[in-house]
Structure 1
Amino acid sequence: MDHAATLALFDRDLREGARPDGPGARVERTGAVVRQTAPAHGWNGVVWSALDETDADAAIAEQIAHFTRLGRGFEWKLYGHDLPVDLGQRLVAAGFTPEPEETLMICEVADLTLDTEPPGGVRVVPVTDRAGVGLVADVHEKAFGADASWLRRQLLDRLSADPGTVVAVLALAGDEPVGAARMELVPGTRFAGLWGGGTVRAWRGRGVYRALVAHRARVAAERGCRYLQVDASDQSRPILERLGFTPLTTTTPYVYAPVR
């Protein structure tokens, strides 16, 4: 894989050429910024920018004003190769809070190791209804220690309005949900994104996460996707590297909460 060419393709197709990621969302370009405005339970934020030292601060102020008018917090998704080089510092100065840095990892599906099976007694099943979505959200809350009410609504919206663009799965030990994940396919591109892969604490280190990645990768291959991308934490990066993913750059969410 040509790293520079793949990163450029990622920027072009998934960032500058971003598409709305759910019902009620819209993507628009305003100057040198591409942003998504979505319902309150959706993802609101900046996905791409082409700024420099002369226009960065004004662009930041414009996005703050836009989302504040709507009463919504939002995220500026900053990548390691974005300019200007001090954009992160400028965002902090404007009132954003950085969350933990992750690694953008991409692989060609054809190069992946896809024969990974779940550990004994565990099976991976698709999620297609409200009950399954509830279980996915429950696993998310147990795995990440964070409220997942937004995920319940967002995933239900996607499965109802455009089920061909999202794949959600559960790992079950008997009838007990022990892992969950989703994959988002982007129409008009060769990319699919892996999101939300989590395992409850008691089942970590047994291969559940690897099995969830392999399962989604097989689905991506069946649907003709060439590339898989994931924002990897420090915990998941080694697993993904062993499966065949390559780190290309970093990504850091900068979050702005409007003053109420």
Structure 2
Amino acid sequence: MLIDRLTPENRLLEAYDSQLREETELTGATRYDRDGPLWRGTFESRESSRGFVTYRDLGGLEGQALENLIARTVAHYAADPSVASFEWKTRGHDLPTNLAERLAAHGLVPEESETVMLGEAALLAVEVPLPAGVQLRRIDNQPDPLPDLVRAAAAQDRAFSIKIPSGVEDFVRRLKNGRDSIEYWIAEIQGEVVSTGRLEVVPGTEFAGVWGGGTVAEWRGKGIYRALTAERAKSAVQRGVRFLHSDSTEYSRPILQRSGLLAVTTTMPFIWTRQ
């Protein structure tokens, strides 16, 4: 009898690599092409376009062959004047181990590392007590979601202490492109949005992502983010989703770990920006 020696983390990582990379990450891209192991997509918007590079693995490429692949990718996006930037999304378990240094040598700038969290959606679909007066609500499934999307975008700006000029436009675009697979949720009290988050079902996979989770500073530490995550998990289970995934910051990772998700790898975007 064969014995499955894979750890729970490795089984989840195998599902992640096989279902959530390559073409799956280019859902919504207006165009894409291939170069060796890479999938290179472009997402167009009214102001400027952005590129995104994804792959399952690099197929053992290293040395000059890898240098040439990176150089061709930079040249590919540089040749399109509509593209303002592109992201090469790396994972901590990918090879070669010196990929980060090679990308940086070609002018790509690393952003903050995040932890990839994975687990069974049912583990998070639990009842979580809320502070008095706080209510959770899904806002995308109404005749005119725009007013609530505006309020949610403003709350997200407050939660992350940064003004995102295209925040509302991005919300509307995502909703338009994924009406049947994306949900927006908010937590509010007396008309004030204090936390936001979305659920994105990944078509053709067993996964849904929990993204955009943010709680304004004065309402943190009260269980609101965990409750909002639990409501999204319940909705995911109702949709037949098996797994949830999230790229988590140091703030959200402990909450998701307490809920039962496992840390399986890390991810770090490398960004090329047109000068």
Mapping of residues 45-84 of structure 1, within 5 Å:
45-48=52-55, 50-51=57-58, 52-54=61-63, 55-70=65-80, 71-84=83-96
One-letter code of the match for 2:97?
A: V
Change over 3 Å in CA distance of 1:107–1:49 after alignment to 2: closer
Question: Which one is further off, 91-100 or 140-149?
Answer: 140-149
One-letter code of the match for 1:53?
A: E
Runs of at least 4 residues off by over 6 Å: none
Question: Structure 1 length normalisation: TM-score?
Answer: 0.92
Q: Does 1:235 align with 2:254?
A: no
One-letter code of the match for 1:15?
A: R
Q: Is the 8 A contact 1:191 1:229 kept in 2?
A: yes
RMSD, aligned α-carbons: 1.9
Q: How many residues align?
A: 258
Question: Structure 2 length normalisation: TM-score?
Answer: 0.87
Tell me which residue corresponds to 2:22: 16
Unaligned runs of 5+ in 1: none
Q: Does 1:133 align with 2:149?
A: yes
Partner SS state of residue 78, structure 2: helix
Distance across 1 between alignment mates of 2:24 and 2:201: 12
Tell me which residue corresponds to 1:151: 167
Change over 3 Å in CA distance of 1:49–1:33 after alignment to 2: farther
Tell me which residue corresponds to 2:3: none
Distance across 1 between alignment mates of 2:25 and 2:52: 13
Tell me which residue corresponds to 1:88: 100
**Alignment deviations for residues 42-85 of structure 1 (CA, whole Å, 9 cap, x no partner):** 76311225332132222211221222223320111110011111
Change over 3 Å in CA distance of 1:21–1:79 after alignment to 2: same
Unaligned runs of 5+ in 2: 1-6
Distance across 2 between alignment mates of 1:117 and 1:150: 33
Distance across 1 between alignment mates of 2:201 and 2:126: 18
**Alignment deviations for residues 171-192 of structure 1 (CA, whole Å, 9 cap, x no partner):** 1011001011111111111100
Question: Which one is further off, 106-115 or 24-33?
Answer: 24-33
Q: Does 1:118 align with 2:127?
A: no
Q: Is the 8 A contact 2:135 2:188 kept in 1?
A: yes
**Alignment deviations for residues 138-177 of structure 1 (CA, whole Å, 9 cap, x no partner):** 1111111223233322321232343111111111011001
Q: Is the 8 A contact 2:49 2:85 kept in 1?
A: no
Question: Which one is further off, 53-62 or 249-258?
Answer: 53-62
One-letter code of the match for 2:237?
A: A
Question: Residue 111 of structure 1: CA displacement?
Answer: 2.8
Distance across 2 between alignment mates of 1:120 and 1:174: 11
Question: Which one is further off, 236-245 or 37-46?
Answer: 37-46
Partner SS state of residue 45, structure 1: strand
Q: Is the 8 A contact 1:195 1:230 kept in 2?
A: yes
Percent identity reads 36
Of 191, 215, 223, 1:207 maps to: 223
Q: Is the 8 A contact 2:12 2:119 kept in 1?
A: no
Distance across 2 between alignment mates of 1:226 and 1:27: 29
Distance across 2 between alignment mates of 1:225 and 1:43: 29
Of 172, 179, 183, 1:167 maps to: 183
Change over 3 Å in CA distance of 1:44–1:114 after alignment to 2: farther
> Of the two, which has the highest radius of gyration?
2
Q: Is the 8 A contact 1:118 1:124 kept in 2?
A: no
